[in-house]
A and B are shown apart, each in its own frame.
Chain A
Amino acid sequence: MSEPLLDVRGLSKHFGSTGGLVQRLTGRAATPLIAVDDVSFSITKGEIFSLVGESGSGKTTLGRSLLRLVEPTAGQIVFDGTDLMRLDPAALRAVRRQVQMIFQDPYSALNPRLTIRETLAEVLRVHAIRPADRIDARIAELLSLVGLPADAADRTPRHFSGGQRQRIGIARALAVEPRFIVADEPVSAVDVSVQAQIMNLLLDLRDRLGLTLMFIAHDLSVVRYLSDRVGVMYLGRIVELGTRTQIFAAPRHPYTQALLRAAPRPDPARRTTQAAIRGEPPSPLNPPKGCHFHTRCALATDICRTVAPPPETVAPGHVVRCHHHALAPV
């Protein structure tokens, strides 16, 4: 078992915890929005780890916190032995070469004023990755790595489709030669046929370049295709964590099971009339006490309403946060 490349311990992000001026004057305590609540997981080198959850689960905030694009409130982010939380801005800048991000919306992920060449060259120049005379060659290499023609370099983003823009975003992230990439829903905003192309590209890049990926998504079928390990998030907490087989073949948390039931299967023979889960997700501003999921859970009992379930290991590498996971049907 190799040393994890990324080890996240107790990461939390609270918004609005300092309170505004008015609240301080009136003496009213501000209720912070807990977007990420004491999350811990680790990722080994070469692995694709997926974080899946619906809107409000905190997965995007978590992804951005790993790069400190959003400053975490507490916790440790140990990347290759160094705690990123302890780094000053200069040291952090050096680490930025190793950890990069791919974004969700291909239509706002690229500066509309710059040509692709300018965008990529800027990265190469700022980080002094190539001497000036070798920059154009490297740009051509990057474009071919993501499956784009070399003449794409001299156009602005408007000339490209969503899928192509997403590839350019990937090329930009690869330009710094990172070891770890956080992909924040990179296929959610593109068509199904393009989605398959991008997913295969990510798998190829992982194999060829030895990358480690953290993939954030809401679509379980995509997650199943790409991941080695999966974490399921609900309202800021990871409620279940395990390998792909464990999560998809033997899920233990009622929310995971509901997610699997709810995903529409392209199989007309298997139709259900009953909705997978009842109720609405609670507001992150006012999360339920105890286990966040109890308001929608068929198994909820008193303990669920008062005590947040601690993480429990039910199999090697398979962790669940549920008081009744043993009873949950598979």
Chain B
Amino acid sequence: MTEAAIVAPSDRPRPELAAMRPSVWRRHGGLITGAGILALILLASIFANYLSPYDPLQQNLRNTMQLPGWDHPFGTDNFGRDIFSRVLHAAKLDLMIGFLCVLFPWILGSVLGGIAGYFGGIADTIIMRVVDTFSAFPFLVMVIGIIAILGPGLISMYIALTLAGWSMYARIVRAEVLVVKKAEYVLAARALGFGHGRIMFRHILPNVITPTIIFAMTDIVLVILSTTSLSFLGLGVRPPTAEWGIMISEARGFILTAWWMVTLPGLAIVLVGLALSLFGDGVAKWLRERG
């Protein structure tokens, strides 16, 4: 090879290759953090009965509005109830609502969206027009409307959140099914004489689930926020049940005098929301990398 004069405008040494490899933390830090916080909250809520120092419903009128201290880590509310215990018990309720009110729409939406995408034609048209109708209403407006018809309460909240939330899943699943339907392994399944049911449940749906899981993660956050909003408005859980939204609502009047009554349940909501977001993004990233 001919030798040519090498002019190096930059004499920077090249970086060590080993240093270039991103660590596990760099790659999956969000997922780990989110999962960790969620795990803590989940455990706390499962063992709420053991971890709470007091009964969440027990009033102690001689001990109202106490500042957070050794006795009461989060202080007490206007009825003398221990806020820490109430927050823990509320976690159980809120997480369950969040999970179920994403699970039901997910199932309903996936089935309908799958049918629409796979069969096309008249089924597709009908289902998608129904989806369009449901999507036309703003989420909270629809939820409030349904609860207004059914009357406030936990069951009504489940029904309302499911009906308001399924349409998005249907859209996502239908779009993914339209793509997967054309994949060669689906064509192969048809060529092998497999029936519609087998193709749908064994070959198509498992391969369209990933985007719905990613969406569901963020949806849990929204549902929990909606739950707390509804309870705040008096349309969800009834007092004296411990639920973050109700706790904030009842403590509205005491913001300036007893800030811990409002702030600490609020922080719990923020923490769960943050953990779910980190976890959801982390899962999405991990699923994407896995291919």
Report which A residues bind B (CB closer than 8 A). 64, 67, 69, 92-93, 96-97, 100-101, 103-105, 108-114, 122-123, 126-127, 158, 169, 172-173, 176
Question: For the complex, is B202 an interface residue (Cβ under 8 Å from A)?
Answer: yes
For residue B191, give the distance in angstroms from its CB to the closest CB of chain A. 5
Question: For the complex, is B240 an interface residue (Cβ under 8 Å from A)?
Answer: no
Interchain CA distance A111-B208 in the complex, whole Å: 12
For residue B48, give the distance in angstroms from its CB to the closest CB of chain A. 37
Question: Assuming the A-B contacts A112-B207, A113-B206, are A69 and B190 also in contact, with contact meaning beta carbons closer than 8 angstroms in the complex?
Answer: yes
Number of interface residues of B (CB under 8 A): 17
B184–A103 touching, CB < 8 Å: yes
Question: Assuming the A-B contacts A113-B206, A122-B202, are A169 and B194 also in contact, with contact meaning beta carbons closer than 8 angstroms in the complex?
Answer: no
Closest to B206 in A: A113
B188–A101 touching, CB < 8 Å: yes
> Chain B's interface: helix, strand, loop or mixed, by majority?
helix
Question: For the complex, is B183 an interface residue (Cβ under 8 Å from A)?
Answer: yes
A96–B191 touching, CB < 8 Å: yes
B193–A127 touching, CB < 8 Å: yes
B-side contacts of A69, CB under 8 Å: 187, 190-191
- 30 example contacts (A-B, Cβ-Cβ < 8 A) are as follows A67-B191, A69-B187, A69-B190, A92-B193, A93-B193, A96-B191, A96-B192, A100-B191, A101-B191, A105-B184, A108-B184, A109-B184, A111-B185, A111-B202, A111-B206, A112-B185, A113-B206, A122-B194, A122-B198, A123-B192, A126-B192, A126-B193, A126-B194, A127-B193, A158-B291, A169-B188, A172-B188, A172-B192, A173-B188, A176-B192
Interchain CA distance A126-B191 in the complex, whole Å: 13
Interchain CA distance A1-B72 in the complex, whole Å: 98
B207–A113 touching, CB < 8 Å: yes
A104–B192 touching, CB < 8 Å: no
B-side contacts of A126, CB under 8 Å: 192-194, 198
Closest to B291 in A: A158
Q: Which of B188, B193, B194, B291 contacts A103 (CB 8 A)?
A: B188
Interchain CA distance A49-B203 in the complex, whole Å: 32
Closest to B203 in A: A111
For residue A101, give the distance in angstroms from its CB to the closest CB of chain B. 5
Residues of B162-212 whose CB lies within 8 A of A: 183-185, 187-194, 198, 202-203, 206-207
Question: Assuming the A-B contacts A122-B202, A158-B291, are A109 and B185 also in contact, with contact meaning beta carbons closer than 8 angstroms in the complex?
Answer: yes
A108–B193 touching, CB < 8 Å: no
A-side contacts of B191, CB under 8 Å: 67, 69, 96, 100-101
For residue B118, give the distance in angstroms from its CB to the closest CB of chain A. 15
Interchain CA distance A251-B260 in the complex, whole Å: 90
Which of A67, A97, A111, A127 counts the most chain B CB atoms within 10 A?
A111
A-side contacts of B198, CB under 8 Å: 122, 126
Question: Assuming the A-B contacts A111-B203, A111-B207, are A97 and B184 also in contact, with contact meaning beta carbons closer than 8 angstroms in the complex?
Answer: no
Closest to A118 in B: B202
Interchain CA distance A104-B187 in the complex, whole Å: 12
B183–A100 touching, CB < 8 Å: no
For residue B200, give the distance in angstroms from its CB to the closest CB of chain A. 13
A-side contacts of B190, CB under 8 Å: 69
Interchain CA distance A39-B157 in the complex, whole Å: 62
Interchain CA distance A100-B187 in the complex, whole Å: 11
Interchain CA distance A123-B198 in the complex, whole Å: 11
Q: Which 7 A-B pairs have the closest CB atoms?
A: A96-B193, A103-B184, A109-B184, A93-B193, A111-B185, A108-B184, A113-B206
Interchain CA distance A172-B189 in the complex, whole Å: 10
With A96-B191, A100-B192, A122-B194 known, 13 other A-B pairs at CB within 8 A are A64-B187, A67-B191, A69-B191, A92-B193, A96-B192, A103-B184, A111-B207, A112-B185, A122-B198, A122-B202, A169-B188, A172-B192, A173-B188
Question: Assuming the A-B contacts A111-B207, A126-B198, A158-B291, are A104 and B193 also in contact, with contact meaning beta carbons closer than 8 angstroms in the complex?
Answer: no
Interchain CA distance A114-B184 in the complex, whole Å: 14
Interchain CA distance A103-B190 in the complex, whole Å: 13
For residue B150, give the distance in angstroms from its CB to the closest CB of chain A. 38
A110–B193 touching, CB < 8 Å: no
For residue A100, give the distance in angstroms from its CB to the closest CB of chain B. 6
B-side contacts of A97, CB under 8 Å: 193
Question: Assuming the A-B contacts A122-B202, A126-B198, A158-B291, are A109 and B192 also in contact, with contact meaning beta carbons closer than 8 angstroms in the complex?
Answer: no
Interchain CA distance A171-B185 in the complex, whole Å: 13
Interchain CA distance A109-B189 in the complex, whole Å: 10
B-side contacts of A93, CB under 8 Å: 193
Interchain CA distance A96-B193 in the complex, whole Å: 6
Closest to B290 in A: A158
For residue B126, give the distance in angstroms from its CB to the closest CB of chain A. 15
A-side contacts of B183, CB under 8 Å: 108
Closest to B194 in A: A126
B188–A109 touching, CB < 8 Å: yes
B-side contacts of A109, CB under 8 Å: 184-185, 188
For residue A46, give the distance in angstroms from its CB to the closest CB of chain B. 22
A-side contacts of B189, CB under 8 Å: 111
A-side contacts of B206, CB under 8 Å: 111, 113
A-side contacts of B202, CB under 8 Å: 111, 114, 122
For residue A248, give the distance in angstroms from its CB to the closest CB of chain B. 30
B-side contacts of A105, CB under 8 Å: 184
Interchain CA distance A92-B190 in the complex, whole Å: 11
Interchain CA distance A64-B206 in the complex, whole Å: 25
B-side contacts of A111, CB under 8 Å: 185, 189, 202-203, 206-207
Interchain CA distance A122-B187 in the complex, whole Å: 15
Binary interface encoding of chain B residues 117-149 relative to chain A, with 1 for a CB under 8 A from any of its CBs, else 0: 000000000000000000000000000000000
Closest to A92 in B: B193
